[in-house]
Amino acid sequence: MRALVFDGSQPRFTKTHPEPEPASGEALIRPLRMGICSTDLEICRGYMGFEGVLGHEFVGVVEQVNERRKSPLVGKRVVGRINCVCRKCDMCRGGLPEHCRDRTVLGIAGRDGCFADRFTLPAANLLEVPDSLDDDGAVFTEPLAAAYQILKQLHIEGRPFVTVLGDGRLGLLCAQVMTRLNATVRVVGKHPQKLALCEKWGVKHRLLEEVGLRADQDVVVDCTGSAQGLKVAMQMVRPRGRIVLKTTVAPGSSGTPGSPGTPGSEPVDLSPLVIHEIQLLGSRCGPFPDALAALVAEQVDVVSLISRRMKLADGVEALKAAKRKDVIKVLLEP
């Protein structure tokens, strides 16, 4: 079958990838739309040491389920949680399956991803998509869930000042979700044409070069996708404030904390965290039902984020396009 594969040195499109076989309890899925996210781009720079079929954002149709009785999911349009868990380890049994010690993650760790003609996921990971939500909306469920995770983690008191740092794919989703809090939310970014979307949504926004780094924000959400984002966040947040870190970068990327890295990179000095008693909160995958419900209710505008639609066969070009500064979301179609 056709697939977009990262071979350890570069992404390439192949027509001869082996057909996946669903294991017991797994579904075989044919994707209808796929989304390229920054994680895919980082994987192509060595993040997670992953090799195999790329991709974890999808909406697709279930072709079969490897179960003894016929699954009601067959033929249904679904989205799916990307962490595939053991259900046996201490994390799984303690109610934190996303942190399963034995997990595989779709297109990120130990499991082929969705940028292919077909792929597999445990049937238990799948959620049916209501007919009222089209493929363009549904494909955003996974990244939007990651934005909703912030609401699960942050307990807000009073009416805090929140800065979403970064005006890329994830930043613009986080900004829309954060405005649901009782908070004063602004997006700080580097790209006027991306910030213009905030204007459309009625979300406050500023260019990074225009804001003073005054250590006056109660919460800063780093969605920059750059290790330097944390450095800026530490200058923006008030003493005893909180930084939510959404950025993941490949080791050796410019400015990775503690990494000797590539020439010209400088490690980020973490001492401001200590001096100003700042709380640093890592944040990864989030609740699919919340994201799906918000998309169905049209509480979040994702269509405006779609910059390009490209074919799976042009996947290598699509990954390049997703890196461009003027591009937000690139969707792949079969």
Region near Zn ion per CB under 5 A, out of 24-32, 80-88, 107-115, 246-254: 80-88
Q: Considering beta carbons, is residue 92 or 331 the nearer one to Zn ion?
A: 92
Q: Which is nearer to Zn ion, 1 or 86 (CB)?
A: 86
Q: Report the residue number, 39 or 247, with the smaller CB distance to Zn ion.
A: 39
Quick one: which of 74, 86, 211, 293 contacts Zn ion (CB under 5 A)? 86
- φ, ψ of residue 216 to 5 degrees: the values are -125, 5
Instruction: Give, to the nearest 10 degrees, the angle between helix 288-296 and helix 141-153.
Output: 120
Q: Does residue 89 touch Zn ion according to CB under 5 A?
A: yes
For residue 171, give both structure tokens: 């930043």
List phi, psi (to 5°) of 312. Answer: -50, -40
Report the residue from 5, 37, 162, 178 that binds Zn ion according to the rule CB under 5 A: 37
Only one of the segments 96-104, 112-120, 150-158, 281-289 lies at the binding site for Zn ion (rule: CB under 5 A); that segment is 96-104
DSSP for 49-102 reads: G--EE---EEEEEEEEE-SSSPPTTTT-EEEE-SEE--S-SHHHHTT-GGG-TT
Task: Give whichever of 91 and 208 is closer to Zn ion, judged by the CB atom.
Answer: 91
Instruction: Pick between residue 52 and residue 241 the one whose CB is nearest to Zn ion.
Output: 52
Query: Exposed/middle/buried for 84, CB within 10 Å: 0-12, 13-18, 19+?
Result: buried
Judged by CB under 5 A, the stretch of 38-46, 207-215, 227-235, 250-258 that binds Zn ion is 38-46
Q: Which of 27, 34, 41, 100 binds Zn ion (CB under 5 A)?
A: 100
Q: Which tokens go with 157?
A: 């008191």
- Asked if 106 touches Zn ion (CB under 5 A), the answer is no
- Which range, of 94-102, 189-197, 247-255, 298-306, touches Zn ion by CB under 5 A? 94-102
- Residue 132: both structure tokens together: 């009222």
Per CB under 5 A, the list member of 39, 83, 176, 228 interacting with Zn ion is: 39
Q: Which amino acid is at 164?
A: V
**Closest approach of Zn ion to the CB of residue 206, in Å:** 26
**In Å, what is the CA distance from 321 to each residue of 16, 38, 307, 330?**
24, 12, 9, 7
Among 54, 92, 219, 327, binds Zn ion (CB under 5 A): 92
DSSP secondary structure code for residue 18 in this structure: P
Size of the site for Zn ion (CB under 5 A): 8
User: Is the CB of residue 148 less than 8 Å from the CB of residue 89?
Assistant: no
Residue span binding Zn ion (CB under 5 A) among the ranges 81-89, 115-123, 244-252, 259-267: 81-89
Interacting stretch for Zn ion, rule CB under 5 A, among 33-41, 124-132, 177-185, 228-236? 33-41
Handedness of CA 104, 110, 116, 119 (dihedral sign): negative
Q: How far is the CB of 36 from Zn ion (least distance, A)?
A: 8
Give the torsion through C-alpha atoms of 176, 179, 181, 184, to 10 deg: 150
316 contacts Zn ion (rule: CB under 5 A): no
Nearer of residues 39 and 217 to Zn ion, judged by Cβ: 39
Between 88 and 309, name the residue whose CB sits nearer to Zn ion. Answer: 88
CB of 321 to Zn ion, least distance (A): 16
Asked if residues 115 and 27 have their Cβ atoms less than 8 Å apart, the reply is no
Amino acid identity at 82: I
State the residues that interact with Zn ion by CB under 5 A: 37, 39, 85-86, 89, 92, 100, 102
